[in-house]
Structure 1
Amino acid sequence: MASGSETISTPKMIVPYEWILENVEEQTTMTIASKMILFLGEKVFRVGLQNNTISPILFFMAIDLGKIGMKVEDVKYGIQGSGLGPATMMEMSSQNIGEEGSLQLFTIKLAEKVVGHCTFMFRICIEGTDSGYSYQLCDRLAKDQLWAAFKNQQYLPDVELIVKDQTFPAHKAILAARSRAFADEFEKVQPVKDVPHQIRIDGVEPSTVENILYFIYTGETMGTLADEKLLELANQYGLLSLSGLCRFALKEIEAAMQMANVMDILNNGIEVPNSSSKIMPEKDTEIFFDGTTPTFRCVFKGSENGKSKCLMQYQKEDIFYAYFIGSITQHTTNRHYIISKPVIHIACAKHRRFGLKVEDIYCGTKEILKWNMPGYNGNNQWLKMEAKKLKKNTELLLRFTVQLELDMTYGNGKINQFTFDIKTVSTIGNYYYEMMDDAWLMDFWTAATNQKLTDVEIFVGTVKVMEAHRIILSARSPVLNETLNKTSHTGKSVVTFGAEFDVEIVKIFLNFLYTGSLKTRTSGNQLSKLATKYQVETLKNICQVIYANPPDVEEITDYLLQL
């Protein structure tokens, strides 16, 4: 998502963790660590503190996170105060300790030894281990419905995968859309009426084949990716991102060497006598993440005091704006301007029209510090911005501010850059961001537009719009399923939408059935009627939010003109 060449925004999977320390003794030098922390069913994280008076170090570890297709991009920490979140968070330093991804270590030196009670707050930014596996917006029901169609052998499965003594009935249209190798296999053999095509897969366990089928049907992983046979199947069937995920997960951990590197980094070359260790807390802890809290990382580049600029677009509409302002003096010789302790502003407009509620915003200042303090090489400091609700239309417009404690220069070619982490809450049921195969979003739709194994003709009135797949239409809409069940299973079935619907709106509706994602909000009332008529629940939820009570455009523009 971006607006213009000077703003970049990316959805990020950022998960929080709270580590509470109690009754830490002043006289004792020790290493304090949590137990292994559970995340998505796997124990993969650990936090700790090398607590001494000479050089206390806070650390965060990710251990073998690649087996679920992920790695840590960055970690921020702060100390919890009286507010809802730390006023300041610092980005921890990533340490190079060997084979990439198998064991990751992030550290930061503390100013003083921790004594008594302390609560550390972490925000862990996670990314996929393959460039084709990322954080995407999608209808959760789309994946669940397609997988249920496979598991329950619904909607006329027409191919059988035979693995040892187990048979997996599946759908040619799904397999061919996701795999060129499957498509080629189906083209070689002419179908026989009422006899499913059979493919025998040798040398693997049924569970491995089920894992790859789950990836094909849902775009997500199931079970461990550290599986040589799964990698072989991914290569055989041309599933590029799954292949990349497996290769990363299969990297061996050089445990002894890496742990030695960890200890060297934590000890920082200092011998600490009489050091002991302690687990705190002694209970198991877990990081919960349900996909409803996406964070948008936005990069803002500005060169003019007081001039607002779009920070982020969402479905082609501007929803976040940023600007900075402060007292200005002109440098006497270099012809640039100095802003004394500028205030950074973010205005949030129309975000609720997309089911997004802004929870908090942090402003990263490292680029500003590097630009205005030559030689600065410290950790990135993130400042929590303060919410300023407007007196009118507080549900629609929201402003966040933070004041910098340094002067900033601009003009004469100088560009100031800020990074913002905007944490939101999605209020639309079943419609949120998840880590998934990027190709899944378009593979089925591409197969439909290319008429690959299509078995349904779509009409609007008397106009043929496109061809589609029974499995997709039936799985996604109970009404379309009932319609198709009444038609003959020989030849191509016909689905006709009423002539009162625009052809382009019907295409948008069908695209949502296939991709689980709505690319535009310009389709209005007709799309809502289609979602209701054909019982597409998530699309109904989306339409209820984005088409309800359109914003007062004049009021919004009047406000934005004042920024």
Structure 2
Amino acid sequence: MYDEPCVTIGDGEGRPVESPTNAATAPFSMMNSIHPGSGEVVEMIKPATILGTSMMMVTYRWKLEVDGIDEHKTISSRMLCFRDEKVFRVGLKNCDKPTLIFVAIDLNNIGLRVREAGFYSENDVLSRQKMTHNNVDGESLQLFTYDLAETVVGHCTFVFSIWLEGSVPGCYSYQLSDRLVKRQLWESQHYVDVEFVCKDKKFSAHKAILAARSSVFADQFDSELPRQKSDGPLQINIDDVESTVFEQFLHFLYTGEPKIPMLDNQQLLQLAILYQLDTLVELCQIAVKKIDVMQMASFVSNLELNQTEPPASVIISPDKNSYVTHGHPESTFRVVWIFEGRESAEKPLAIDYQNENLFSIHLKDGIVHFICVNHRKFVIQVLYSINCSNWIEMKLKNVRQQLVKSEMLFFAAQVDVNFEQLFQQSIVFDIQMVYSTIADYCYEMVDVSWMTQLWEAALGCRHTDVEIFVGQNKLMEGHQMILSARSPVLNGLLCNLKENGKSRISFHKEIDAHVVEHFLYFLYTGSSRMTFKNKQLLGLAEMHQVETLTKVCELAIVASPDVEEVTNFLLSNF
């Protein structure tokens, strides 16, 4: 599936863009300019570029003790659980041509698929190998293998690295946001104006969110006669659906995430089709597809994964059902450095991460320097690869003696690349990190449209009931329900305003309107389009008791590096 590795990056508006990342053999590209006064055409070196995306990675450690070789047996683990579902299994065909095996089964039931699998041996922790993806079923069954150089005898530990993506990558992907926004919207009882009745259960809801997420609900609300608040919430009956399924549907609509992992439910699919939740439709359609029974039986038989006990000569740890876990703050940021020749690679290039120039990369004296400025102690490891198959860990240099006031990591590696060649080449870096110590600000798989639809409804004044001013100038409109759920201060303010017509809230005229807009964007989406180092943004977060935004801004501002010290260090190393 990924014979030509690629990364998905944002184009500035959150839309994915596919770009190749393999070392290409494209012809060398120069940029021409006219020398002033002479009319002479001067060739200029094309600057290096950076592509990057964050990925979800989980690991599994498999220990073996093999006393002998049985050519007719495959050593395999039990089924491995991820998010309470048995979806992974690892194995080793330990014969004359030994093969390491990783299998993912029915991962699409929980909206995921394996994008890439790799491993390293504890005997060689600095080198990670990419496993080959063998097309078996494509959606329900994924097989990855790697041919080992020699049979395994004695003690051996394989550490598997599994990169996951949404089963609908363009619509359901790995995003960083404040998880409180989802919980606060889902649990909010402020300004309830819709009540669903499904079987013997009632569900409170809000027109603003329903209409923003579903055009069917929007059309229904737009066509109804005006209602007085004294009439109570609009009641909608939901027939022929189990209440638990409707709750799962409503949860996805409110949060962009499944309430329970399993998506292979026909009733959930029918609800998604009826109300035109496109991402949920695609997730469910993929999830309900089943593996062909005969194909699965043949697959298991060929790999000999149907054994219940390992051979007597093998000891496996863990020997019981195991869980593959993923810590929410953890993420792997993949960076692709594209350059054309030595001069292009020697120019320092800043790498933007979450609206900050957090990393820098350049070539000096044949050594690749990868620098993490203002890393706030969350960078764990940096690996690089020329071909996306063999990964090598970069060595961390000690800069603590040279830097007293600033936090910075300095990695270096002598890479086997001919920088004199004048055609496009690339080096790929995997930066393993914990984004922060803030529990609710983390990465998770989410419906990408959820992160835009509520905000677009506010900008389009759809079902809005609040006018927002900065001083005397109207900035935009918003929804009482969302603002109240996200800020206890705004909730208290809006509760005391008149209910006739639209409410009005005003921010002080001294606050930059651009900052106010980004503050509101964070309330709606749980993410930011501007740096968290902005002190006005921190002031707004503190004033309105927006917990996660306050913590993230405080961390960004407090941890800012000493500019003079850092620049002195960088100048001495360029």
Q: Please classify the TM superposition score into its range, dividing by the shorter chain length.
A: 0.7 to 0.9
Matches within 5 A, 1:129-140: 129-130=167-168, 131-140=170-179
1:348 matched to which residue of 2? 372
Deviations 1:427-455 (A, max 9, x none): 24121111101111111111111111111
- 2:387 maps to which of 366, 382, 386: 366
1:291: Cα distance to partner? 1.8
1:325: Cα distance to partner? 4.7
* SS of 1:535 mapped into structure 2: coil
* SS of 1:244 mapped into structure 2: helix
TM-score by structure 1 length?
Answer: 0.86
Matches of 1:514 and 1:288, distance apart in 2: 29
* Correspondence 1:102 to 2:145: no
Matches of 2:421 and 2:115, distance apart in 1: 34
Q: Give the counterpart letter for 1:318 in structure 2.
A: N
* Correspondence 1:21 to 2:64: yes
1:411: Cα distance to partner? 3.9
Which runs of 5 or more structure 1 residues have no equivalent in the other structure?
268-273, 327-341, 368-379
Matches within 5 A, 1:193-342: 193=228, 194=230, 195-223=232-260, 224-261=262-299, 263-264=301-302, 280-305=317-342, 307-310=346-349, 312-325=351-364
* Correspondence 1:38 to 2:81: yes
1:421 matched to which residue of 2? 430
Contact 1:363/1:420 (CA < 8 Å) preserved in 2?
A: yes
1:210: Cα distance to partner? 0.9
- 1:69 maps to which of 106, 111, 123: 111
Q: Give the counterpart letter for 1:296 in structure 2.
A: F
Matches of 1:451 and 1:428, distance apart in 2: 36
Cα separation, partners in 2 of 1:79 and 1:205, compared to 1, 3 Å: same
* SS of 2:378 mapped into structure 1: strand
* Correspondence 1:142 to 2:170: no
Cα separation, partners in 2 of 1:32 and 1:265, compared to 1, 3 Å: closer
* SS of 2:527 mapped into structure 1: coil
Matches of 2:437 and 2:466, distance apart in 1: 31
Q: Give the counterpart letter for 1:517 in structure 2.
A: S
* SS of 1:289 mapped into structure 2: coil
Q: Give the counterpart letter for 2:52 in structure 1.
A: S
1:522: Cα distance to partner? 7.0
* SS of 1:222 mapped into structure 2: coil
- 1:117 maps to which of 143, 155, 163: 155
Cα separation, partners in 2 of 1:530 and 1:301, compared to 1, 3 Å: same
Cα separation, partners in 2 of 1:197 and 1:445, compared to 1, 3 Å: same
- 1:188 maps to which of 217, 223, 242: 223
1:388 matched to which residue of 2? 397
Cα separation, partners in 2 of 1:460 and 1:2, compared to 1, 3 Å: closer
1:280: Cα distance to partner? 4.7
Q: Give the counterpart letter for 1:136 in structure 2.
A: Q
- 2:536 maps to which of 505, 526, 539: 526
1:284: Cα distance to partner? 2.1
Matches of 1:35 and 1:320, distance apart in 2: 41
Contact 1:300/1:311 (CA < 8 Å) preserved in 2?
A: no
Cα separation, partners in 2 of 1:321 and 1:67, compared to 1, 3 Å: same
1:135: Cα distance to partner? 0.5
Q: Give the counterpart letter for 1:360 in structure 2.
A: Q
* SS of 1:238 mapped into structure 2: coil
Matches of 1:523 and 1:324, distance apart in 2: 29
Which runs of 5 or more structure 2 residues have no equivalent in the other structure?
1-8, 12-46, 306-310
1:249: Cα distance to partner? 0.7
1:171: Cα distance to partner? 0.4
Matches of 1:296 and 1:284, distance apart in 2: 30
* SS of 1:248 mapped into structure 2: helix
Contact 2:533/2:556 (CA < 8 Å) preserved in 1?
A: no
Matches of 1:392 and 1:182, distance apart in 2: 61
